[in-house]
Structure 1
Amino acid sequence: MPAKNHLSKEQKRKLLKEMKENKNAQIRERILILLLMNEGKTYQEIANFLEISYPTVAYWAVHGDPDKMESFIDGRSQGNFRKATAEYEEMLVEVVEKEPSEYGYEFGRWTGNRLATYLEQATGIKLSGSQVRRILQRK
């Protein structure tokens, strides 16, 4: 744990300014963790004061960089990686509009699983039938 007054005056000024101006409560809380550490508070004292978990305090104490405000943004808020590209979705819509027999299949209707299998062979992108159906519902 860093020593009391480990932040420079400039770092402290930037953090205080950002804490006052930022609309995101989570980011303000993460900045406050660093400021309280700078005042000599322990992880447990900070966790009790802010009513958050000890591991949360420990995580942001290590990962929060007072020189990079972007470090306070949690990467999980960006969402998961999407396998289905825009081209995949366009191809899916084109395939659904045609009959399976036009692609050499004997069955009369497309199902999510059949579409997923066909598109995996065509594009190399493996999705489940339920993922394919979810994409179609959005379209």
Structure 2
Amino acid sequence: MSRPVFVRKLTRSEFAQITRLIRSKEDARIVRRAQMIRLSSQGKKAPEISEMWGVTTATVLRTIQNFNAAGLESLADKPRKGRPRKTTDRYIALLKEAVQKSPRDFGYPFSSWTLERLREHLGRQAGTLLNPRYLSQLMAREGIVYRRPKHLMAHLRDPKDYNEKKAILEFLKNARSKGTPDSTLSTLTNVKFTCTRP
């Protein structure tokens, strides 16, 4: 049977920091490791600690060995590699360039960007097709704003009719501001406002 492994003798500073970590609201994994170290310093064996925490004995032994080698630094998580970023500096530069220009400058038949159009354009330019929601978040994070298309209907109205009704409305506003009673206004202007569809 092998000899039990315990944590090395803690300095006062280490013990104080471990106690502070245990009481803190740090990451649960860091707190758990700190508690394992403190229990080991109090004479608890690795199998007992593993049973208390519901982890394997190997996990407890690894935590103790790492602490014995590196001290308090071993309690923190090691950096993880993770997935590489999809958006590069080049992608962001292309995005900024695109929103500053009209889509027609790039040969598209439309004159305004939508999120989906930007996404497709950047997919062709940079070779990376992002989720529209992620593209929107990226734009917000980078402070990039594009103008959403405005659907105006001014070109659908009859200019003569519009100008005539606008003049009547101005007349009514001016007359009212001068104190002309409403009953007089209705007899002065026998106007029928209608809403017509183009």
TM range (shorter): 0.5 to 0.7
Give the equivalent residue in structure 1 for 2:137. 134
Cα RMSD of the aligned pairs, angstroms, is 3.6
Q: Are residues 105 and 70 of structure 1, via their aligned partners in 2, closer, same or farther at CA, if it must alter by over 3 Å?
A: farther
TM-score by length of 1: 0.65
Give, as a single letter, the amino acid of the residue that structure 1 aligns with 2:18: M
Take 1:59 and 1:134, find their aligned partners in 2: how far apart are those partners? 42
SS at match of 2:105: helix
Greater Cα shift, 80-89 or 121-130: 80-89
Take 1:118 and 1:87, find their aligned partners in 2: how far apart are those partners? 14
Q: Are residues 87 and 61 of structure 1, via their aligned partners in 2, closer, same or farther at CA, if it must alter by over 3 Å?
A: farther
Gap regions ≥5 residues in structure 1: 48-53
Task: Percent identity, please.
Answer: 22
Aligned partner (choices 39, 42, 49) of residue 49 of structure 2: 42
CA contact (8 A) 2:104 2:110 kept: yes
Q: Which structure has the larger Rg?
A: 2
CA contact (8 A) 1:63 1:71 kept: no
Greater Cα shift, 117-126 or 68-77: 68-77
Instruction: Report the Cα offset of residue 100 of structure 1.
Output: 0.6
Select the structure with the greater relative contact order (CA < 8 A; seq sep ≥ 6).
1
The answer to whether the aligner puts 1:73 opposite 2:76 as a matched pair is yes
- Runs of 4 or more above 6 Å deviation: 76-80
CA contact (8 A) 2:36 2:49 kept: no
Give the equivalent residue in structure 2 for 1:120. 123
The answer to whether the aligner puts 1:85 opposite 2:97 as a matched pair is no
SS at match of 2:134: helix
Instruction: Report the Cα offset of residue 112 of structure 1.
Output: 1.9
Q: Are residues 91 and 32 of structure 1, via their aligned partners in 2, closer, same or farther at CA, if it must alter by over 3 Å?
A: same
TM-score by length of 2: 0.49
Give the equivalent residue in structure 2 for 1:108. 111
More helix by share: 1
